[in-house]
Amino acid sequence: MASRKPLVEWEMDKGVELRKRKFKYNTFTEREYKNLIRKNYIIIKTEKGLKYLEEEI
């Protein structure tokens, strides 16, 4: 079973922030987080976020 974390934790771990903050659910799996990154407007504030986006997405 995949671990579910709040959106804030995913953003801190991965370094990629989502612009839109209202979603139906409060916790997400890593797959769901990746799908949100692909479908929504994102903000990258750190080198860590840029590296994650280049490698994973």
Q: Which residues pair with 16 in a beta bridge?
A: 44
Close Cβ partners of 25 (under 8 Å, ≥ 6 residues apart): none
Q: Using an 8 Å Cβ cutoff, are 42 and 18 in contact?
A: yes
Q: Tell me what the mean pLDDT of segment 28-36 comes to.
A: 91
Strands 16-18 and 42-44, how do they pair?
antiparallel
pLDDT of residue 1: 65
Return d(Cα 57, Cα 34) in angstroms, integer.
Answer: 7
The structure's pTM equals 0.80
- Calculate what percentage of the chain has a pLDDT beyond 70: 96
Return d(Cα 14, Cα 31) in angstroms, integer.
Answer: 13
